[in-house]
């Protein structure tokens, strides 16, 4: 198996429209959550979200006509991919395009377009529906557009595993390179799901926080008073390369993708199995693939959604994997979702970027709003204030509806 390294990062998030701004604001404990502005939420139980602000697609797609024929999740993916390629210093003209590809995921795809065109259908009839409807909402059009944009003729795949999507996409892209099917891959997730229907659906399932009067305090992972997750949106994309390919062109290597684990609970369509067995096995698989001991993991970016069942399950899984390393508080854990909400299919990708930046900067961001610790969530979740620490190994967890569990393990690069 060939070694896989990370050479570029691109991010669009509720805290900033690039990776560095996002991470800096995470370290500062800033919240990107506020009242929903994409639609009038007055009849919804939850009226708050982590929305992307100040994003201008014309910076990346100058043609208004072309941009109009893409859903917002594709806009975010294009922007994050452009940034990741620029960050990597990769010259596409020097790349074998048949050995370069993309694995990009989305949890719900072009739901904005679907809802808008459904309204058009009901109001004006079927002949008024846009001929671009299908290629606008299909999830595979995110990697499809990237292939067309950059001339990537190698493996090109769309992944959709709910909240585990972004993590699965990066792990699968890493496997493509490791087994020799490509040398360069764009990998990650994109989501723009703050729509009336999706928010209503999650509200009906009692999944969302209803702290509408205090949006910045609504996402409370591992806190006893947590009442659900907060919707978020954005994208995270990485440039992954085979080690020798990166070395040959003199790339700056940000981290090495050392481990990837994926399992399923086989338990329930939405509720996680409370012992955390599936999550435990995903983490153990990633650690085993990396050929390290659990005690060598310095930091975990938790799935940490702020749902009562989810946070408790993840705590149980972490204890089962790390034992005394976790209970003695030597393992630091934090939830990015406390500040940006849950980006669904993009969550794991943005959180993978956070892990890589944590390794690069030796700084761990806090879990904000952790004021009243849940006695059943009793590990070190880096409550409310970030800390400095030399992090050599970071692990990122994502768990999705359907019982999907995925874990990535990144390590500081050692030649």
Q: List, by residue number, the catalytic residues.
A: 163, 303, 342
3-state per-residue secondary structure call for the chain: CCCEEEEEEEEEECCECCHHHHHHHHHCCCCCCEECCCCCCCCCCCCEEECCCCCCHHHCCCCHHHHHCCCHHHHHHHHHHHHHHHHHCCCHHHCCHHHEEEEEECCCCCHHHHHHHHHHHHHHCHHHCCCCHHHHHCCCHHHHHHHHHHCCCCCEEEECCHHHHHHHHHHHHHHHHHCCCCCEEEEEEEECCCCHHHHHHHHHCCCECCCCCCHHHCCCCCECCCCCECEECEEEEEEEEEHHHHHHCCCCCCEEEEEEEEEECCCCCCCCCCCCHHHHHHHHHHHHHHCCCHHHCCEEECCCCCCHHHHHHHHHHHHHHHCHHHHCCCCEEECCHHHHCECHHHHHHHHHHHHHHHHHHCEECCECCCCCECCCCCCCCCECCCEECCCCEEEEEEEECCCEEEEEEEECCCC
């Amino acid at each position: 198996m060939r070694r896989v390294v990370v050479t570029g990062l691109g991010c669009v998030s509720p805290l900033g429209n690039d990776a560095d701004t996002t991470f800096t604001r995470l370290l500062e404990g800033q919240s990107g959550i506020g009242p929903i502005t994409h639609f009038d939420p007055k009849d919804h139980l939850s009226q708050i979200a982590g929305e992307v602000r100040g994003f201008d697609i014309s910076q990346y797609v100058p043609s208004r006509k072309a941009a109009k024929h893409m859903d917002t999740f594709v806009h975010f993916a294009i922007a994050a991919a452009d940034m990741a390629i620029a960050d990597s210093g990769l010259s596409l003209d020097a790349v074998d395009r048949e050995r370069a590809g993309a694995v990009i995921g989305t949890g719900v795809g072009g739901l904005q377009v679907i809802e808008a065109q459904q309204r058009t259908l009901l109001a004006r009839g079927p002949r008024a529906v846009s001929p671009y409807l299908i290629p606008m909402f299909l999830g595979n059009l995110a990697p499809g557009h990237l292939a067309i944009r950059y001339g990537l003729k190698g493996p090109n795949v769309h992944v959709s595993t709910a909240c585990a999507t972004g993590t699965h996409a990066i792990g699968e892209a890493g496997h493509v390179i490791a087994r020799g099917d490509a040398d360069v891959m764009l990998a990650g997730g994109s989501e723009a799901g703050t729509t009336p229907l999706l928010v209503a659906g999650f509200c009906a399932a009692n999944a969302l926080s209803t702290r509408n009067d205090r949006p910045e305090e609504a996402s409370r992972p591992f806190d006893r008073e947590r009442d659900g997750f907060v919707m978020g949106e954005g994208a995270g994309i990485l440039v992954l390369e085979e080690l020798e390919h990166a070395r040959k062109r003199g790339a700056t290597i940000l981290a090495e993708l050392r481990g990837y684990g994926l399992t399923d609970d086989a338990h329930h369509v939405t509720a996680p199995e409370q012992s955390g067995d599936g999550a435990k096995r995903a983490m153990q698989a990633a650690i085993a693939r990396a050929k390290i001991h659990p005690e060598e993991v310095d930091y975990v970016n938790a799935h940490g959604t702020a749902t009562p069942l989810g946070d408790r399950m993840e705590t149980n899984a972490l204890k089962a994997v790390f034992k005394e390393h976790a209970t003695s508080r030597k393992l630091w854990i934090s939830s990015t979702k406390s500040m940006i909400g849950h980006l669904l299919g993009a969550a794991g990708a943005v959180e993978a970027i956070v892990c890589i930046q944590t390794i690069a900067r030796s700084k761990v961001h806090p879990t904000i709003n952790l004021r009243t610790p849940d006695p059943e969530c009793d590990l070190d979740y880096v409550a409310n204030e970030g800390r400095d620490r030399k992090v050599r190994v970071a692990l990122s967890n994502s768990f999705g509806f359907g019982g999907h569990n995925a874990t990535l393990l990144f390590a500081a690069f050692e030649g």
